[in-house]
Structures are given as C-alpha cells and as structure tokens.
Amino acid sequence: MRILLTGKTGQVGHELERSLRGLGEIIALDRSQMDLSDLDQVRDVVRTVKPALIINPAAYTAVDKAESEPELAMRINGEAPGVMAEEAGKIGAAMIHYSTDYVFDGSKDRPYLETDPTCPVNVYGSTKLAGEQAIQAAGIPHLIFRTSWVYGMYGKNFLLTMMRLAQERDELRIVADQHGSPTWSGTIADSTAAVVAKSIQAPDAIDWLRQHSGIYHLTCQGQTTWHGFTQAIVAATMTGKTPVLTPIATQDYPLPAKRPAYSVMSGEKFIRNFSDLPSWENALASCLQKKTGSDNL
C-alpha cells in the first residue's frame, strides 16, 4: 500500500515515519515538499503521488499564535485536509487524520465521548474542527484520531520545556486547574501503525477503513493537570535538588488563547475497535526509558 505521510518533521510525523516502516511504501514529506498553506500544491502532490492512504499529522499547532493568524491556521488545519480528502475521493484513497481535545469547551467533568457536542473556545480548536468536518463531508473512508497534550523526546513540547526549566529555575509556577491526558507521540504513532496493519490484513484495506470510518479518541488513559504532569516529569528525571512546583490558577498564567478547563477524552471506542492504550504514567516511563516510539505502546 502506498502511504503519503505529511508533516514528517513534527512530533507525531517523526514517530510515524518510524512506526509505519514495513507497512507499505511510505512517501514522507516535509513542509518544503508539501506546504499545507498552498492548497494548489496540496492538490498537485496528492495527484502526483497517487497514494492509497493519506496520513496527515501536519498542522498549525501554535495555539496562542493562531489567535492573531486565524486565516493561515484555518487554511492549514481546516481547508488543506478538505482538499486532501477531496483528491483522495477522486482516486479511491482513504485518510487518517489527527484532531484535538481543544474541539471541546471543557464544561464536562467526565471523559468526553466521540458523540459529545463540540464547541471550541479558541481559534486553533475552531480550525481543527473545520478540518474534521471537511474530511467527513468528502465522504471518503477516513479515521479521525483526536488526541491531546502530545509530548515526546523529539520536537517542541511540554515535557522537554519542563525538563529544561526544572534545571534552570528554583521554582516553577504551573497551571493546576486544567485537566487532561498527556499523550506520548510514540503511543499515537504505534497505535496508528497497529490500525494500518489491521487494515492491511483485511481482504480489502480501503474497504476495512470505510467500515471503520469515524472519529476516535486516541490518548493515553487516565488524567492529570499540567502541574501533576510536571510533578511526574521532575520525579522521573531529576535527582538531588529539585525546584519547588507551585500550583497556580489559569488566570495567573495569562495567555492569548483560552484553554478548556477539562478535556479528558474516553479511549473506550478506540480500544474496543482497535487496540489497548497505555496509562499516561506508563507511557511517560516508556518515553523516558526508550526515547523512541518504535516498538512500545
């Protein structure tokens, strides 16, 4: 199966390139080869590569910057996935796409289900929701994996930021009233590869993907806060003198974009249909131990 992989320099794209090895002919592209802000180029690349499956982890992920660049964020997160899906439809291809917990407003206090109403509270979330809707509207075989709080040893993320700040400072002030599920990029990539492998084992991979089409919540299981996540990071990575970790309220860490106060998502549908998901604690340990996502959930 020929697979077109976007965003190979991103956290998830980087791990996917590794996890997908052996599952087909992987055409992995970066921004210079497929710029999602150039919709004509997106169209041309799909037409030239003619994949059976598009896997799209590329996205505009700068949550605060998106507030001042809504049009660019919408083109990359909302429109480009729609163009990919439209072109996929013309060649009988399927699509695996990634979305976010930030499609929810955070007013629930129990894990969000795939059937719960969406209501983004920031520009990034609105543009990611538009991407989901554009893919659904194209009517192609598709899997949309909503994930959250992604980290790993590669790329820009909260784990690496906090490991650095914990070395530099005596005190860290961290938001303790936002609840979510930190998710290792390796878990996302390996879980995606497991799904692709299942599709390939079926008599007709595209038909299998059509039968399983829909939205799935793909996160590590359990929940914490950014403060709780930092406590786990510091405990696992530092010995000797550690900084004081002071819990603070969201309002005491002002940022341009609003965030949902609660964005835990139930992984039950994903687990029932595809494969098990690790707890966030176990995934963090695996990440720190292995430093790759190649063969560990």
Ligand X SMILES: Cc1cn([C@H]2C[C@H](O)[C@@H](COP(=O)(O)OP(=O)(O)O[C@H]3O[C@@H](C)C(=O)[C@@H](O)[C@H]3O)O2)c(=O)[nH]c1=O
Query: Nearest CA to 297 among 197, 187, 192?
Result: 187
Binder among 13, 82, 111, 180 for ligand NDP (CB under 6 A): 13
**Which does residue 296 bind out of Mg ion, ligand X, ligand NDP, none, counting CB within 5 to 8 angstroms by kind?**
none
Classify strands 94-100 and 183-184 as parallel, antiparallel or unpaired. unpaired
Sequence-separated (6 or more) residues with CB below 8 Å from residue 270: 145, 191, 216, 217, 218, 277
Please report whether residue 61 would count as binding ligand NDP according to CB under 6 A: yes
**216 annotated active-site:** no
Residue nearest to ligand NDP (CB): 10
Of 23-31, 58-66, 239-247, 284-292: span binding Mg ion (CB under 5 A): 58-66
Residue 11 in contact with ligand NDP, rule: CB under 6 A: yes
| Beta carbon nearer to ligand NDP, 102 or 274 | 102
Least distance (Å) between residue 33 CB and Mg ion: 25
- Are 283 and 220 in contact, with CB atoms under 8 Å apart? yes
- For ligand X, which is the closer residue by CB, 226 or 280? 226
- Point out which span in 13-21, 76-84, 167-175, 276-284 binds ligand X (CB under 6 A): 167-175
DSSP string, 63-119: HHHHTT-HHHHHIIIIIHHHHHHHHHHHHT-EEEEEEEGGGS-S--SSPBPTTSPP-
**Identified catalytic residue from 60, 112, 124, 154:** 124
9 touches ligand NDP (CB under 6 A)? yes
Q: Please tell me whether residue 61 binds ligand X under the rule CB under 6 A.
A: yes
- 63 or 297: CB nearest ligand NDP: 63
144 burial (CB, 10 Å; 0-12 / 13-18 / 19+) is buried
Q: Rule CB under 6 A: choose which of 140, 172, 196, 283 binds ligand X.
A: 172
Q: How many residues at the interface with ligand X, by CB under 6 A? A: 19
Phi, psi (deg, nearest 5) at residue 238: -120, 145
227 makes contact with ligand NDP (CB under 6 A): no
Token pair for residue 165?
């700040």
Alpha carbon separation from 2 to 21, 23, 89, 238 (Å, rounded)? 12, 9, 15, 43
Angle at 123 (CA atoms; ends 125, 250), nearest 5 degrees: 80
Query: Would you count residue 66 as binding ligand X (CB under 6 A)?
Result: no
Rounded to 5 degrees, what angle do the CA atoms 127, 270, 95 make? 50
Q: Which does 9 bind (CB under 5 to 8 A by kind): Mg ion, ligand X, ligand NDP, none?
A: ligand NDP
Distance CA 250, CA 243 (A): 20
Q: 253 is in the binding site of which of ligand X, ligand NDP, Mg ion, none (Cβ under 5 to 8 A by kind)?
A: ligand X
Selected binder of ligand X within 6, 100, 187, 199 (CB under 6 A): 100
Residues 201-260 that bind ligand X (CB under 6 A): 226, 253, 259
The entry of ligand X, Mg ion, ligand NDP, none that residue 175 binds, CB within 5 to 8 Å by partner kind: ligand X
Distance spanning both ends of the chain, measured CA to CA: 23
Where on the chain is the footprint of ligand X (CB under 6 A)? 61, 63, 100-102, 148-150, 158, 161, 165, 172-175, 178, 226, 253, 259
Active site residues: 124
